[in-house]
Chain A
């Protein structure tokens, strides 16, 4: 199978995928309920897409193609409400959050589809440890070359999305000291990381994808677990670094932030990407994972050290006109308040833990936040 043709899509259209946790009512541990929830949710017309994920205590929901924040949020809320109604009948709870605070990976069961069973055989314990929950955002691109251009121009903003969405401070029963511990699980996969620096689709296909395909390591774009990857069959680029936030409101706000950034890049308001931008990439990404909004990032061009919090706030302010045009100003303002005020979801979960000293209370809080 060679690389699929890039199907151009309506520029700046959006789609959001959320991986959600299924937790038991009595012990708040992850619960094997994906099959039952899928069956029940599909009895009536589900307001979106719903499918199983790697292990049977997670499900993935996806929106249709949306152009504006209002429609996106409305659909996310409708899907959430449908899921809450179904899960109440099955005695399971649903929540966001990039990791479950205390589940033990040895207890996970791989969902029985051939693809997941194949991945489990290939990756061993990595597959089960991959019981982490992310938000993926697709943004429509007018053509393949623009997709690669935007993908690389976004490199310096990747830490923003990590810090804004971070909701995985706890893993396997302890505080990891990371705001996003989830990404550490993702980095363990051999084909994770960033896309090679190629800005021309024909070259990307000839000089990179075909060669990789010849090695037998990959068969489709699906096999790359890059932070941002092109998705030719949808005609989009897909941002994959976000933890699933605790609320669908934040998930929608993060999606429209990406939409506004892509709008600005496509309009030529951002400097063209260069290969050397990536010199600081992994360091900045680490800072965002470890310290969240309190991280210090190094600007790829000026090499100045900037508090991530300030850089995000300034970017949000700069994007205000684009957000106005796209109808997402209120959502960006909510991100601005979060950056300047209360902090991300990891801060919230750590505060619950500090008060209660109990990881069950942390899951309870996440469950309550999701149902809000």
Chain B
């Protein structure tokens, strides 16, 4: 044999899977009206089940970097849309974000406890459930060119619940470290330091960047390229010092917006680069999820998913009127917060590398919920935005 079939397949495995995922995404979107990201996730799960792509440790590290970079782009875009002044003008929105996050935490943790999970794992499950996937939400919003209150609120609440999820997760890790080492200082130091360094990395890049772009009078493509490179830079920087690349990317986005510099807007979704990395991100992350192996695990997954959505809808509906919208739109905002997964899994992956032993146990428990929400989440988000009448009718190509 001149060549080895296995080796060739190993080489072309990834692009082939990504191409298949992209095709599936287009078919799902055009034919069935299903969000593209659902199809990407499906492709990831199928390819993982068939074991089409095998990777050694080095490749896995590279892929993990790419995934963080891709997610960083979404967080940057989310951060860019966050108006901190809105939370001051309308403090009830901030209250509803905190209430929604905490209610989700306690409901999911309660379900996990009731289903016989130990408290530490239940706590991690609760913390991870709080976060809405910025990738899925931003992608659905951009695909349907949404504009309106439900869209605005969902994006802001998404940023809030991601931040709270990170804090709760760090709290859980801190709690675990407290149990392990008995040192409260160590536990608090760890959480606070990670938070501060992550935000600091974002600030470090975020301050000089707009100045540079203004001097250059960069056009749309130039701005997009520079933003993408900046996100790559913070991803590497934060990975280097072992803090959260995602918080840093979010900070970067918020900062560039807050400085009110009049930049040409970047291409939506980071143009073709964003499209390509989205396919990769969803395929890669879905590949990490595994099917629940027992009926109990499946029941846990379904119950936690249902509890999670119910908590979000209930909290946002309850605070809708005081925060200036109708109860219906409040409930739809909660529904739009349904997507879960990418963020949670990467957070978990990161926690594991940070030496959090419990994460191993939580991973198998949350994997089931991820698989449920992988499909249901974006669908719910799309459904909510359509019911709110905030989507554009697409032009027929």
Contacts and interface: CB of A to CB of B under 8 A. Distances in A.
Interface of A: 24-27, 31-33, 35-36, 39-40, 86, 88-91, 106-107, 109, 112, 356-358, 360-361, 364
A32 B390 contact: yes
Nearest to A357: B217
B392 A360 contact: no
Contacts of B145: 107
Contacts of A33: 147-149
B358 to A, nearest CB: 38
Name the residue among B86, B147, B395 with the largest chain A CB count within 10 angstroms.
B147
B86 A25 contact: yes
Contact of B90 (A35, A89, A107): A89
Contacts of A361: 262
Interface string B218-260: 0000000000000000000000000000000000000001000
Q: How large is the interface on B (under 10, 10 to 19, 20 to 34, 35 or more residues)?
A: 20 to 34
A36 B148 contact: yes
Given A26-B83, A32-B148, A91-B152, A356 B262 contact: yes
Contact of A26 (B148, B217, B257, B392): B257
B384 to A, nearest CB: 15
Given A91-B90, A91-B152, 4 more contacts: A25-B83, A26-B83, A89-B323, A356-B262
B60 interface: no
B182 interface: no
A68 B280 CA distance: 66
A39 B326 contact: yes
B147 A26 contact: no
A235 B86 CA distance: 44
Contacts, number: 61
A24 B390 CA distance: 14
Contacts of A364: 262
Interface in B321-361: 323-326, 329
B395 A40 contact: no
Contacts of B148: 31-33, 35-36
Given A24-B147, A91-B83, A91-B86, A36 B395 contact: no
Given A39-B326, A90-B324, A357-B217, A26 B81 contact: yes
B98 to A, nearest CB: 18
B264 interface: yes
Interface in B292-334: 323-326, 329
Nearest to A43: B324
B198 to A, nearest CB: 23
A36 B262 contact: no
A32 B325 CA distance: 14
B392 A88 contact: no
A106 B395 contact: yes
B206 to A, nearest CB: 16
Interface string B141-168: 0000101110010001000000000000
B51 interface: no
A40 B90 CA distance: 13
B80 interface: yes
A36 B321 CA distance: 12
Contacts of B257: 26
Contacts of A357: 217
B141 to A, nearest CB: 12
B265 interface: yes
B58 interface: no
A32 B324 CA distance: 16
What are the 10 A-B residue pairs with the smallest beta carbon separation, nearest first? A89-B324, A88-B89, A91-B86, A89-B90, A32-B147, A358-B262, A26-B81, A36-B149, A361-B262, A25-B83
Interface in B80-137: 80-81, 83, 86, 89-90
B262 A88 contact: no
B348 to A, nearest CB: 30
A41 B396 CA distance: 37
A67 B212 CA distance: 55
A12 B283 CA distance: 70
B262 A360 contact: yes
A361 B264 CA distance: 10
Nearest to B156: A91
B147 A31 contact: yes
B228 to A, nearest CB: 18
A107 B156 CA distance: 23
Contacts of B81: 26
16 contacts: A27-B265, A31-B147, A32-B147, A33-B148, A36-B329, A40-B324, A88-B86, A88-B90, A90-B152, A90-B325, A91-B86, A112-B389, A357-B217, A360-B262, A360-B265, A361-B262
